[in-house]
Structure formats: C-alpha cells, structure tokens
Structure 1
C-alpha cells in the first residue's frame, strides 16, 4: 500500500538554495539523519523563551512605573493653586503678611528635593528601558531568523517526503514485487515506510516549533512597544509636567504678592479718604469761625473780587486738569490695548513651533 504523496511547500526564491542544501543532507535511509534533522533550529526555541521570560520579568519596567507614580503623587500632593485662594477670617488675624508664601516656598523646597531624586531614578530607568528596546530588537531579528530556518527545514522535509512518496517507495514496492524469493525486500519496504512516517512526524514537530516562533514575534513587539511607551511617558513628565508645575508655582507666588500689594494700596486709599474727610471738616469749622469774624466788620470789595477771581481760576484749572486727565486716560487705554495685542501676537508666535514639533 503506497503513501499519499505530499505537495511540498514552494520556498521563496532567496531561500530555495538553502532548502535544497538541507534536503540533500537528509538521508531517508539513515534514522540518525532523521532524528538530527532540524534539531539545531529547534534548540533556539529555549533561548527565545528564556529571553521572552526575561523581558516579561524585567524589573526596570516595574520600578520605572513605581517611580513615575511617586513623582505624580508628589506633584499632586503639593497643590500650588491653594496659594491663590483668599485666607479666611481667622487666618488673616493670626497670619502675618507674607507668612503663607514663605511656608509655601519652604514646603516647595522639600518637595523639590523629592522630585529631583525621583527624576534621577526615572532618567536611569528610562536609559535601561531604551537599552531593553534595543535588546528586544536584536531578539526580534534573531527570532525572525529562527522562524526562517524552521521554514527552510520544513520545506526541505516536505521535499524529501514528496520524493519518497513519488519515487523511492514506488521503486521499493516494485523491487519487492519482482523479487518474490527475496525475504528481505518486504522488510526493506517496511523500514522505508517507517522512516518516511518518522520524517513526517519530525516535519510536524518542526511546524509546531515554527508556530511558537510565529507567536513569539508579536509578543516581542508588544513588550518592546510597552517599554517605548513608558520611556516616552517618562520623557514627557521630565520635559513638560515638572517644568509646568514649577511655572504654576511661580505664577501662584506672583499672584499672592500682587494681592498683598493690592491690600496695601487699598489701605493707603482708605487713609487718604479719611484724611480728606477730616480736612473738609476742619476747613468747615475754620470757615465758620472766619466768616463770623468777617461778618462783624465791613466787607473789603477788592478782596472779595480777588478771592472770586482766584475761585474762578481754580474752577477753570480743575476743569482743564480734568479734561487733560480724561484725554490721558483715553490715550493710555489705547496704548494698553496695543501692548496687549503685541503680547498676544508674541504668545501665538511662540506657541506655533511647539505644535509642530514631534513628540518625545
């Protein structure tokens, strides 16, 4: 009974020479040749599995994630936005001016030290992650070569199986039928069929190993992509999040100082208003006393005219100065609008390159 002939897989043109060489080395009559066939290529599976396990158990990834969480927690724990909030009634009573900002700066120095330490750890982890990415790239290339080597052995084995099914076994069957008196001819045919089945099982094992290699390729890429993503996240935190946090602190402190200056101006304005009222009351009292004394005597018409002229001049000066002040305010408003427009254009011009720059 003859075996069903197999159709060998057609190798790629660039792999045809290697497949032919492997098929030439395979001797169907030598059991040792069949057992050794593809064994060297299969041993690479253990090395690839160990490398994959090492990549999955990479402590640098876990430590980098923990350090990144620590930094984000430290940044969130120091909320600089509370610096801009107005203190409560009791806080205003028991807290001196500037004490809140001083405490904030003191706390900032402590958090800054923690962030710098964590930043150094993150930078070291990022370096290790980039090294792992390069190592995984080499592992991917080696696994791809392993996959091609297994495919070459499978194609060579299928070629020998097809030749055995179509040429070798039919020739042995014809020889066994012709040599009816030779008792060894059937045994040779049976041994040939047994060797053919062993080679078929060997090729099947190589197909299973090739499937493992095929599964390893996307797994390597997945680990590599995770390492690259975590490295990019670390770079983003070090380059963007931390500087932005420091900028926010500087703005909050500036707003706090501006609020304190505003309080000082308000107090000065209140004092000015109080002095104005007091001066008006003093003027009124003095005016009553003076008028009482003036009314007791004869009026000096020249003095009255002179005082009237001075009063008219004062009123005219007040109107003129008020007009000048109004014109100056209008001009200042226009200049402020112009300055604000220049600042907006500068900010827009500074923002444009950042939007087109590639991400780290």
Structure 2
C-alpha cells in the first residue's frame, strides 16, 4: 500500500469514529392528550384542531394529509438513496484482495521442488526473478484495490450521514402525527360532550314542523363525527407504520457502519500485515538462495520458511474468519420481516371489516330513509282528512 493511501486511511479513521459514535434518539410511544398537554405542546394541538370544520367533509378527509404527504417523500428518498452495501462493490473489493493473495504462492520460488512435466520438457526451473515479478504484480493489485476501498468507504460515510437526516425527518413526522391524533381525539371528545348534546337539545326545542330539518342536521353532525373518528384511526395506523420504519433505517445504518469499520480496519491493519508477510517471503527466499551452499544455513532457512508459512496461514485464517463473520442473524431479520408483514395484513383485514360494516350501515340508513319518507307521505294523506300535518305525524 502506498504512503498516500496509508495517510488517507489514517485520516478517515477519525471521521469513521465520529460517524459511528452518533446516537440516534428513541421515538416516543405515548400520545399526550390535550387535557394533559402544556405550553407550546397544547398550543400546537389546538392549532391543528382549528383545521377541522365539521360542516366541511373535505376538511375531515384531508385532516393530517399535510403530514402524511411528507411520508411519501421520505419513502422515495429511502428507496432512491439507501442501499445495503454489505453485498455491494465494497464487499467485492474486499474479496478481490483475498483472491489476489490466494493467487500468490511462495512454492513457485522453491528451486528444489519437483518440476512439472511441462517444465521438464522445456528445461525450465523456478527462477527467482519470476517470483519477484509476481510479487510486484500482486503489490500493484493490492494498491489498486485499497484505493477502491477508500472510495467505497467515503461513499458509505455519506450514506450514513444521509440516513441520520432521514431518521430525523421520519422521527419528526412521527411526532407530527401524534399532534394530529391528539387534536382529532380532543375534537371527538368536544363533539361527544358538547356539540352533539347541544344539537340534540336544539332539535327537541324546535317546533314540530321544523324538527325534520333539525334532525337531519343532527344526523349530519353525527356522520361527520364518525368520519373524523375513522380519520383519526387511519392516522394512528400511519403512525404505527412510521414507527416500524425507524428501526429499519437503523438496521441499514448499522450495516453500513459495520462495513465502514471493517474496511478501515483492513486498510490500516490488515493490508500492511499482508504486505509485510509477502515482503518477508521474498527476503527469506533471498537468504535461502544465498545460503544454499551451507547445510546449516540451509536448514535454518528451511525452518524460517516453514515458520513464516505457518504464520501466514494462521494470520490468514484469523483474518478470513473475522471477515466472513456476519453482522446480523438472517433468522432474526426474517422474523422481523414476517412480523411486519403480519401487522400490515392485520391492518388491511381490520380496514376491510370496517368497510363492510359501513356498507351495511349505509343499507340500513337508506332503508330508514325510505320508511321515513313513506310515513311522511301517509301522514300527509291522513292530514287531508283529520287536519294533522306532516310535522304532527313525525312528532307523534
């Protein structure tokens, strides 16, 4: 590894430590109702209650939609800019170094090894110059791959920082949903405790000829109240889905952090160690070639070569073992994914059930409306003979 790459790897180490030391805040779980909210929090809830107009259906349908629109933007950013790099180009570069080193064999240098039939046919031996050329080729490949790893490391660092921003946006949206839910529940409580009872009293106080219209207004208010309740329920479901996306962001980010740490450790520690071992192999062989005429020196050279090969094998085994270790259990990831899918399916089933109940209620409402219209018509016909009007029939 060149001195320039070594310095860049060392400089990046501080940035790696800074990024991996960032602790993301945990999302809150409880929704604070308006009655318990204080100060600015209560003001924010009241502000969102002001967005509701119970006489305007569109106001109820679009309640909280401004916050929900942000969820779509966040999801698009996640799909466009966030990928798990553990199986990407960075992993390929790490495997490239291992493949390069595996292609380098010290046995090619041994002048006493048994030559292949092809070498015997051509009268070729195992020249030292060929081994040195092979060593220089491997060194060049290592330098190229380590430079690529530096590029991957910087890309991962940018992704981790982007994930920090993405997490903060998602958490802010999660808190915003809590405000809308609290505002909706406060409005529902106000309707149940004040507005609807007041409208019921108003209907009873109306003359008989005006009670039908007043009753219709009461029915509309109750229908708007039910629409708002369903809207608040939808916001709660959205908040739950948003909460589940937060650990997903963390999972991807932790994968990237682990890979960045692994790359930096490879650049700062592992690659220099490999280079040292390769350099030792060349040095030992030169000593062995110079001491070939001396039996004792030759034996010593053989012993050093054996020990060096064992050390290289052991070091490679340890490094490979550490590199091939996984970050997370695939079973745990599968279980989390299955739980998430089950939650979504359950939410869809509840929504379908609610839709079916509303359809049934619509049929009943139409039936009641028909009965009321028939009764009014009968009362009007009867009123021709008795003097009673439609209002009297309804009031009776």
Q: If the TM-score is normalised by the length of the shorter chain, which range does it land in?
A: 0.5 to 0.7
C-alpha separation between the residues in 1 aligned to 2:103 and 2:76? Answer: 41
CA RMSD of aligned residues (A): 3.0
Q: Hey, what does 2:190 align to over in structure 1?
A: 163
**1:24 maps to 2:64:** no
Equivalent pair of 2:177/2:239 in contact (CA under 8 Å): yes
**1:244 maps to 2:273:** yes
Equivalent pair of 1:11/1:19 in contact (CA under 8 Å): no
Q: Hey, what does 2:113 align to over in structure 1?
A: 88
C-alpha separation between the residues in 2 aligned to 1:244 and 1:34? Answer: 67
Q: Hey, what does 1:111 align to over in structure 2?
A: 138
Q: 2:292 aligns with which of 252, 263, 267?
A: 263
Tell which structure's C-alpha radius of gyration is larger: 1
- Structure 2 alignment gaps of length 5 or more: 1-31, 299-396
C-alpha separation between the residues in 1 aligned to 2:50 and 2:133? Answer: 80
- Structure 1 alignment gaps of length 5 or more: 1-6, 270-360
C-alpha separation between the residues in 2 aligned to 1:267 and 1:24? Answer: 96
Equivalent pair of 1:60/1:125 in contact (CA under 8 Å): no
Equivalent pair of 1:28/1:192 in contact (CA under 8 Å): yes
TM superposition shift of 1:262: 3.2
Q: Report the count of equivalent residues.
A: 260
Q: 1:11 to 1:145 in 2, by over 3 A?
A: farther
What TM-score, normalized by structure 2, do the two folds share? 0.59
**1:234 maps to 2:263:** yes
Q: 1:19 to 1:85 in 2, by over 3 A?
A: farther
Structure 1 stretches of 4+ moved >3 Å: 7-14, 55-61, 82-87, 93-96, 266-269
Q: 1:30 to 1:89 in 2, by over 3 A?
A: closer
Q: 1:180 to 1:86 in 2, by over 3 A?
A: farther
What TM-score, normalized by structure 1, do the two folds share? 0.65
Q: 2:169 aligns with which of 135, 142, 147?
A: 142
More RCO (CA 8 Å, sep 6+): 1
Equivalent pair of 1:67/1:122 in contact (CA under 8 Å): yes
TM superposition shift of 1:164: 0.6
TM superposition shift of 1:163: 0.8
